[in-house]
């Protein structure tokens, strides 16, 4: 049968038309024009609540997140570690090191310090103790792999010195913790964790004889006053998993803290904050039939028991559908003197605070970010590091903003909204659109 005739150039014209229609469709469904992201952000499938300008103003009454107007002179492809010294923020260690002086002008806020002496491309852990910034690692450097080297930076003198290396093999996970002036390294072990204290006078690391556990442990460590706390999930040989905590101090030694209502498995991925009286954890991975996104847990060290906190409020205008959220990863937290503050998350951005003897307080989150560190300066929160949806986060986020930053602080409840805020990421537009 003869092939039907077609107009000259008709095939090209149809192709152009098809491409045009597809292009319009993609434009209509692009993140810039669609207020509710789809795909992996299933938490935002819920239609946004109707929000009036007045309700939105109330949501940002406490201030908004914004981006610091200058970037530090460090590796732009790897934001690196961060540490707060009490009056300055140090970032990088890749090997460049930069410090932020919040009292300086914007142009002079960031200054360079001597780079890491080992040429680190990344350090495993960093902590501040008694005027020194201590680093463990590096995990990689020019021409070397992971090492157990330890270095100290005198922040005032801007001079590095080498400290005794940690004995033994380099573990898969290690973390430095300043415990009331003591420098302690916690590292993964086949039977739980090892903990060693630095004795710089004798030039040795002293083994704190952590208890042997019946299985491997996924964990994180932090200081709670004079105590070292390790929270995590124990994987027993029979396949069962249980969450809990270990605590150590110089007077009582080690204690296992699993009484009360401990959190579900995955607590090692939660954010933990010491309030001065108890440890508050939020986030992590959901256990079957549980929802750690909607609830937090508190650990009282003296009593050694856990309790479950009330759920987060579900009627906050910027919250996704809590019933759909099974994981809240990437949260970081700190204590601001009055509240345990939690911020972060990629698929479920969150900015919440646990107020002792009161409950949860919610505010508008920053753009999606997982990991990094958050610090309280006495006046504002500083959020550095981690990853955003584009890769390594290369900016410093602050809350609330103030003069000298990319958006100015105003008196009264009307504080404005930072330019960097993506309304699609929090599931609500500036006027409910």
Domain boundaries, the chain: 165-257
Whether residue 346 contacts residue 389, with contact meaning beta carbons closer than 8 Å, is answered with yes
Strand order in the sheet with 182-189: 174-179, 182-189, 192-199, 204-207
Q: 407 pLDDT exceeds 50?
A: no
The candidate with the shortest Cα–Cα distance to 265, out of 229, 224, 310, 297, is: 297
Collapsed DSSP state (helix, strand, coil) of residue 59: helix
List pLDDT tens digits, range 324-350.
555 566 789 999 999 999 998 877 778
d(CA 366, CA 347): 12
Whether residue 244 contacts residue 234, with contact meaning beta carbons closer than 8 Å, is answered with yes
Higher pLDDT, 401 or 307: 307
Report the percent of the chain where pLDDT is more than 70. 70
pTM: 0.77
Which position has the token pair 């969150």? Answer: 350
Q: 2 pLDDT exceeds 50?
A: no
Whether residue 401 contacts residue 379, with contact meaning beta carbons closer than 8 Å, is answered with no
List pLDDT tens digits, range 171-202.
989 999 999 999 999 999 999 999 999 998 88
Whether residue 256 contacts residue 209, with contact meaning beta carbons closer than 8 Å, is answered with no
The CB density around residue 55, as the number of other CB atoms within 10 Å, is: 14
List pLDDT tens digits, range 146-161.
788 999 999 999 999 9
d(CA 218, CA 232): 5
Topology (CATH) of 165-257: Lipocalin (2.40.128)
């Amino acid at each position: 049968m003869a092939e039907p005739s077609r107009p000259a150039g008709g095939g090209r014209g149809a192709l152009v038309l098809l491409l045009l229609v597809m292009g319009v469709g993609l434009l209509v469904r692009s993140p810039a024009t669609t207020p509710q992201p789809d795909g992996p952000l299933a938490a935002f499938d819920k239609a946004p609540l109707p929000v009036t300008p007045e309700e939105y103003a109330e949501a940002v009454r406490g201030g908004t997140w914004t981006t610091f107007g200058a970037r530090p002179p460090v590796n732009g492809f790897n934001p690196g570690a961060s540490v707060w010294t009490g009056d300055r923020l140090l970032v990088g260690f890749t090997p460049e090191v930069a410090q932020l002086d919040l009292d300086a002008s914007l142009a002079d806020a960031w200054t360079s310090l001597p780079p890491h002496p080992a040429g680190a491309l990344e350090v495993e852990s960093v902590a501040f103790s008694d005027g020194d910034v201590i680093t463990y690692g590096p995990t990689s450097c020019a021409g070397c792999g992971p090492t157990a080297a330890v270095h100290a930076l005198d922040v005032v003198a801007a001079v590095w010195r080498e400290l005794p290396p940690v004995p033994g093999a380099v573990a898969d996970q290690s973390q430095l913790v300043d415990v009331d002036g003591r420098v302690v390294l916690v590292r993964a072990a086949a039977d739980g964790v090892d903990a060693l204290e630095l004795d710089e006078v004798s030039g040795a690391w002293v083994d704190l004889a952590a208890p042997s556990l019946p299985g491997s442990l996924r964990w994180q460590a932090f200081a709670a006053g004079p105590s070292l706390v390790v929270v995590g999930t124990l994987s027993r040989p029979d396949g069962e998993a249980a969450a809990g905590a270990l605590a150590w101090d110089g007077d009582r030694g080690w204690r296992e803290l699993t009484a009360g209502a401990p959190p579900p498995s995955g607590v090692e991925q939660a954010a933990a904050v010491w309030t001065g009286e108890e440890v508050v954890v939020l986030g992590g991975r959901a256990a079957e039939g549980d929802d750690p996104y909607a609830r937090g847990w508190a650990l009282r060290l003296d009593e050694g028991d856990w309790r479950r906190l009330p759920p987060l409020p579900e009627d906050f205008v910027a919250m996704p559908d809590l019933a759909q959220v099974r994981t809240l990863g990437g949260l970081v937290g700190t204590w601001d003197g009055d509240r345990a503050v939690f911020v972060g998350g990629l698929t479920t951005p969150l900015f919440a605070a646990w107020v002792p003897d009161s409950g949860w307080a919610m505010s508008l989150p920053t753009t999606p970010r997982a990991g990094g560190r958050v610090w309280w300066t006495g006046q504002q929160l500083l959020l550095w590091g981690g990853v955003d949806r584009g890769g390594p986060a290369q900016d410093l986020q602050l809350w609330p903003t103030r003069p000298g930053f990319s958006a100015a602080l105003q008196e009264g409840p009307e504080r404005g909204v930072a330019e960097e805020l993506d309304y699609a990421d929090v599931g609500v537009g500036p006027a409910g659109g």
